[in-house]
A and B are shown apart, each in its own frame.
Chain A
Amino acid sequence: MIMWFAGLILLIVKLAVVLGFLLFLAAYLVWVERKFLARLQIRYGPNRAGRYGLLQPIADTVKMLTKEDTIPDGADKGLFCLAPAVVAMTAMLMFAVVPFGPELSVFGRKVPLVITDLNIGLLFVFALSSLGVYGVALGGWASNSKYSLLGGIRGAAQMISYELALGLSLVPIVMLARSFSVVDIVQAQERYPFILVQPVAFVIFMISAMAESKRIPFDLPEAENELVAGFHTEYSGIRFGLFFLGEYVHMQVLGALVAVLFLGGWRGPFLPPPVWLFIKIILVVLFMIWTRGTLPRLRYDQLMTLGWKMLIPLALLNIVVTGAVVLF
């Protein structure tokens, strides 16, 4: 009984730490993105709230919490309220399978530094990222606005095409690690990170991940110059904040996935494992912001062509080649 309670408390502590860190980092990623993007465009970025604008995320949060929360007439109230929660929740749940260190020993007990080591961790991630599409599509539909609807439709179409490439690009990783468990995949990268043997899969995964997180150059669902703000046009206040939070948590999760699947996860010399994972996540996220500052948005048909005619065949070819290499 005591052991059971100890396990429960340990789980709650882990959840609190990871969730707190995730949310804190999401808030400060907004700051990082605004600063970094500003420097790419030879501006200063936020620098009024506190030193270097470091209090900006707090000011933004207070602003969003105190704004009027409107639900448009004719909106489907239930779905309208549910959609932002779906986006934020699925993004946060995905982090449950990401390991941030090797097993620790505390008071003779083994403490795995991961919230839950599912033996089908990768499938869990894909299932949740597919569920996240519901938030976008339903939010767009429930708003009862043409811009939102178009954004939602685009979101759904885009995710269907990129989900496939995302999944297929990881099949070679699973073949190499011989496991769907994310912990085992990190374990398998003991000697070298998988980016060295799977550069093609890495490129496909990066592109699909950016499309999955709806960021420039794949931000068609929100395309502000055509669709106002796409699927979240009608949202205000903290509901909009939840969409925003979901987007930034999603960025972190994808950064973490790239780190775990291709860059060796928490492995690295000198520094403690969670710090290495953090550094790798930040590097991937910075690359995504850099991309945002560089590339223009793709057209709808270009997006589809890239997904169906290039990434998916390439991923399939990669699977065949890897399979042949593993077999012989």
Chain B
Amino acid sequence: MKSLVEAAKALAEGFATTFNHLFRRPVTEEYPEVHRVLPARTRARIVLTLDPDGEERCVACYLCSAVCPVSCISMQSAEKEDGRRYASWFRINFARCIYCGLCEEACPTSAIQLTPYFETCERDILRLVYEKEDLLVQHQGKDKEYNFYKVAGVVTRLAGKGEHAREEKPVNVKTNLP
């Protein structure tokens, strides 16, 4: 008898709880009408950024292409007159991309970056193949200050540390000592 009363009480409690939920405001975000602001580090549409001097960051090192688990990045490296490398073409197949962000992690120059913009769907799958001019953007992305040529810091056949064109002198780390 006691357990029967307890069961009835438990049932009534459950029904009351669900009934109260009827009068709550739904928590649903209605997507096409309401665009939620996504965190800055959300991984979606990939871009190629410029350095603060306004030049392409990409040096066509193929690291992103190598690390890509679905092999959706391809490019061709070329050299400018001053001997620096760039990508003569750069292609990302977004139909294959899984937005894992490994390319961004592998990139030594912060050129390739993922942005929170995700509404890239197309009716025709071939339109998801983005060429270099589709990927290039006119800003620095998430890494505003970074200019890799200024801090390259290696000795080559042509010049010593900090002596290449547009390279800054190495920082004397000992000046920071107390």
A interface residue numbers (CB < 8 A to B):
38-44, 47, 290-291, 293-295
Contacts and interface: CB of A to CB of B under 8 A. Distances in A.
B13 to A, nearest CB: 10
Contact of A40 (B11, B22, B30): B22
Given A290-B15, A294-B14, A42 B30 contact: no
Name the residue in B15, B18, B27 with the highest tally of chain A Cβ atoms < 10 Å from its Cβ.
B18
B14 A44 contact: no
Contact of A41 (B15, B21, B25): B21
Contacts of A291: 15
B2 to A, nearest CB: 16
Contacts of A41: 21
Given A40-B18, A43-B28, 14 more contacts: A39-B21, A39-B22, A40-B22, A41-B21, A42-B21, A42-B24, A43-B26, A47-B30, A290-B15, A290-B18, A294-B14, A294-B17, A295-B11, A295-B14
Contacts of A38: 26
B128 to A, nearest CB: 26
Given A293-B18, A294-B18, A295-B14, A44 B24 contact: no
Interface of B: 11, 14-15, 17-19, 21-22, 24-28, 30
Contacts of B30: 44, 47
Name the residue in A38, A44, A47, A293 with the highest tally of chain B Cβ atoms < 10 Å from its Cβ.
A293
Contacts of A40: 18, 21-22
Nearest to A47: B30
B26 A44 contact: yes
17 contacts: A38-B26, A39-B21, A40-B18, A40-B21, A40-B22, A41-B21, A42-B21, A42-B25, A43-B26, A43-B27, A44-B26, A44-B30, A47-B30, A293-B18, A294-B14, A294-B15, A295-B11
B14 A42 contact: no
A38 B21 CA distance: 10
B22 to A, nearest CB: 5
